[in-house]
A and B are shown apart, each in its own frame.
Chain A
């Protein structure tokens, strides 16, 4: 091997690992659960508003509201809203299935949170696109794992 070839090859090896770094940074523990719903379609940020209190005293019951920006017509509506937690023992918390008959893409409920965490809401639109929003919640007394 000539010295010149060796140096060119070595330079390539050093440069190579920098490339997939950006791709790898996006992988999160939520991905397998998200994938089950999106089937690989990328999820964009926006159009969804997930409302949770910034601080919850008790994780056993935290008020939650998701609203999605959609005209809710037969051609353009929200098909589903999926809720994910990144710290609960059950990651996929709930799925709500809507249709054009809903008139308004908004669902409220009360959730359990096992500790301070980030909650993600993903909305599935009738055109096949996915949009999401996240909310950070600090939970003082966590649910599920406590003997209460």
Chain B
């Protein structure tokens, strides 16, 4: 599961920074049928979390009500240089993990 993440490479301490992520995922609703009429099983990313230097700053519980290739935009305060860790898991148990680093200046 590929993801595209956008966070600033550099920020000032205390600055509110914007985090944007798009994850490549069908977000299968469980209401569609395949070519031979069988119901396609629901498979959505049901949990997403963002950690900043090990501390959770954002978490989301998602459902089939979120579009395919889910897009999330949220904010966090730049506290210290370090790493953002993005984690998600879908109904089939497939997990995704992406990391992005940030430099915070005083």
Contacts and interface: CB of A to CB of B under 8 A. Distances in A.
Interface of A: 60-62, 83, 85, 88-90, 92-99, 101-104, 106-112, 143-145, 147
Contacts of B59: 96-97
Contact of A101 (B32, B65, B71, B77): B77
A110 B70 contact: yes
B29 A94 contact: no
Nearest to B17: A103
A144 B64 contact: yes
Interface in B47-74: 52, 55-68, 70-74
Contacts of A111: 65-67
B66 A147 contact: no
Nearest to B75: A104
A111 B55 CA distance: 27
Contacts of A102: 57-58, 74-77
Interface string B65-106: 111101111111101000000000000000000000000000
Contacts of A112: 27, 29, 64-67
Contact of A108 (B57, B68, B73, B79): B73
Nearest to B72: A109
Contacts of A97: 58-61
A106 B19 CA distance: 11
A94 B45 CA distance: 11
Contacts of B76: 101-103
A83 B62 CA distance: 10
CB-CB nearest 6 A-B residue pairs: A93-B65, A103-B16, A103-B77, A108-B73, A104-B75, A110-B67
Given A97-B58, A102-B75, 14 more contacts: A60-B67, A62-B67, A85-B65, A89-B29, A97-B60, A99-B57, A103-B77, A108-B73, A109-B71, A111-B65, A112-B29, A112-B67, A144-B31, A147-B32
B72 A108 contact: yes
A27 to B, nearest CB: 23
A93 B57 contact: no
Given A103-B77, A107-B74, A90 B64 contact: yes
A101 B52 contact: yes
A95 B60 contact: yes
B33 interface: yes
